[in-house]
């Protein structure tokens, strides 16, 4: 189905190999007439295989075709820029605001879907540097894609996320994120829902709502807040810099946020990202991971929030997942959550 975003104009088209491309423009922008993709690409043939680990029950995806995906091309050959003479890209138009398209090198396809979300046509900007209006348009795109992908019968979980920085493993430097519409529940979500179910049975309340209430009451790990959202460092943070952003009202996913909640999220998120980048002399590498509720199973137990984390533990040091973390899944942190929260508060003061 095609949804209608609340505060944006959506324009659908297709690329030369049949993949979907969607433009999101401000609601008052001129009507867009998409240009045709001139590249004449062959139809994609992704090769994905799912296997179940008998020891953990986790689903492991094998996508060998991704080994040939584009890797750190020169800036003037970026496939996420708007097209121009000599560089026909994934976005045929000569300019765009926000663009979403099916990934040419998806981790899975058939069941499930993988999409790329381009935050801006400006190759040299980061999300932190987006205007309030531009960032708000990205939120509309996330909400619209969440609603549409959640309606697919082959999707169990919709995961919008962003990886920033080569240290994280980014292969394209253009400001962008992705959306994985999983045909299964990811292991982390299975764990969180199991804990939420146990908490509901024992305490009779929502685990995530209780965590938020406890953090707001304690106050030591609060980084910033506004009328509808609170950003805090979790009391058992795994990563050197980790901040969770929670709405004050329990909702299942981004599409359920009100206009005011979307506005307040945008302001708080830009604030927190600015604090991340203000810690050191250069941009902080990070992963921004939305955690909506599952599409079907245990949806009532979920609570939309965003987890923002960085692997940098000092100006010139990266936290690597070594023996304990990789071998046993037991995290050992070099930073104290209360200290991280205080540092981030001071950065913004």
pLDDT tens-digit series, residues 107-125: 988 899 999 999 999 999 9
CA dihedral 78→81→84→88, nearest 10 degrees, is 60
Residue 254: its pLDDT value, please? Answer: 98
* Range(s) within the chain of domains with CATH label 3.30.428.10: 8-184, 188-347
175 neighbors 125 (Cβ within 8 angstroms): yes
Q: What value does the mean pLDDT take over residues 211-224?
A: 98
% the chain with pLDDT above 70:
97
Residue 71: its pLDDT value, please? Answer: 62
Task: Answer yes or no: is pLDDT of 3 > 70.
Answer: no
Q: What is the CATH number of domain 188-347?
A: 3.30.428.10
Residue 314: its pLDDT value, please? Answer: 83
Residue 67: its pLDDT value, please? Answer: 66
pLDDT digits (tens, 9 = 90+) for 223-277: 999 999 999 999 999 999 999 999 999 999 999 999 999 999 999 999 999 999 9
Task: Enter the pTM of the model.
Answer: 0.95
Higher model confidence: residue 101 or residue 105?
A: 101
Residue 108: its pLDDT value, please? Answer: 86
Residue 318: its pLDDT value, please? Answer: 84
CA gap 52, 71 in Å, rounded: 29
Catalytic status, residue 248: no
Task: Answer yes or no: is pLDDT of 68 > 80.
Answer: no
Residue 310: its pLDDT value, please? Answer: 93
Residue 168: its pLDDT value, please? Answer: 83
Q: Which of 174, 176, 199, 305 is catalytic?
A: 176
Q: What is the CATH number of domain 8-184?
A: 3.30.428.10
């Amino acid at each position: 189905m095609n949804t209608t975003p609340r505060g944006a104009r959506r324009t659908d088209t297709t690329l030369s190999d049949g993949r979907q491309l969607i433009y999101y423009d401000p609601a008052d922008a001129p009507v867009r007439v998409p240009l045709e993709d001139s590249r004449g690409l062959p139809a994609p043939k992704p090769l994905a295989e799912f296997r179940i680990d008998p020891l953990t029950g986790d689903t492991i995806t094998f996508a060998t075709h991704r080994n040939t995906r584009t890797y750190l091309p020169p800036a003037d050959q970026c496939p996420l820029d708007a097209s121009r003479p000599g560089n026909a890209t994934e976005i045929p138009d000569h300019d765009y605001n926000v663009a979403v398209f099916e990934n040419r090198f998806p981790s899975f396809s058939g069941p499930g879907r993988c999409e790329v979300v381009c935050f801006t046509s400006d190759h040299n900007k980061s999300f932190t540097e987006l205007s309030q209006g531009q960032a708000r348009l990205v939120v509309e795109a996330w909400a619209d894609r969440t609603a549409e992908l959640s309606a697919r019968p082959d999707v169990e979980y919709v995961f919008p996320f962003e990886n920033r920085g080569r240290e994280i493993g980014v292969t394209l430097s253009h400001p962008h994120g992705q959306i994985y519409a999983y045909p299964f529940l990811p292991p982390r979500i299975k764990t969180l829902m199991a804990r939420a179910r146990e908490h509901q049975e024992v305490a009779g309340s929502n685990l995530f709502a209780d965590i938020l209430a406890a953090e707001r009451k304690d106050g030591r790990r609060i980084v910033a807040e506004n009328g509808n959202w609170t950003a805090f460092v979790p009391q058992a943070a795994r990563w050197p810099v980790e901040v969770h952003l929670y709405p004050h009202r329990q909702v299942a996913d981004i599409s359920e946020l009100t206009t005011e909640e979307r506005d307040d999220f945008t302001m708080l998120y830009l604030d927190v990202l600015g604090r991340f980048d203000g810690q050191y002399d250069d941009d902080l590498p990070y992963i921004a991971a939305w955690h909506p509720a599952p599409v079907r199973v245990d949806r009532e137990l979920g609570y939309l929030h965003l987890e923002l984390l960085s692997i940098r533990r000092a100006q010139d040091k990266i936290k690597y997942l070594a023996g304990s973390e990789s071998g046993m899944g037991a995290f050992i942190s070099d930073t104290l959550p209360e200290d991280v929260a205080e540092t981030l508060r001071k950065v913004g003061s």
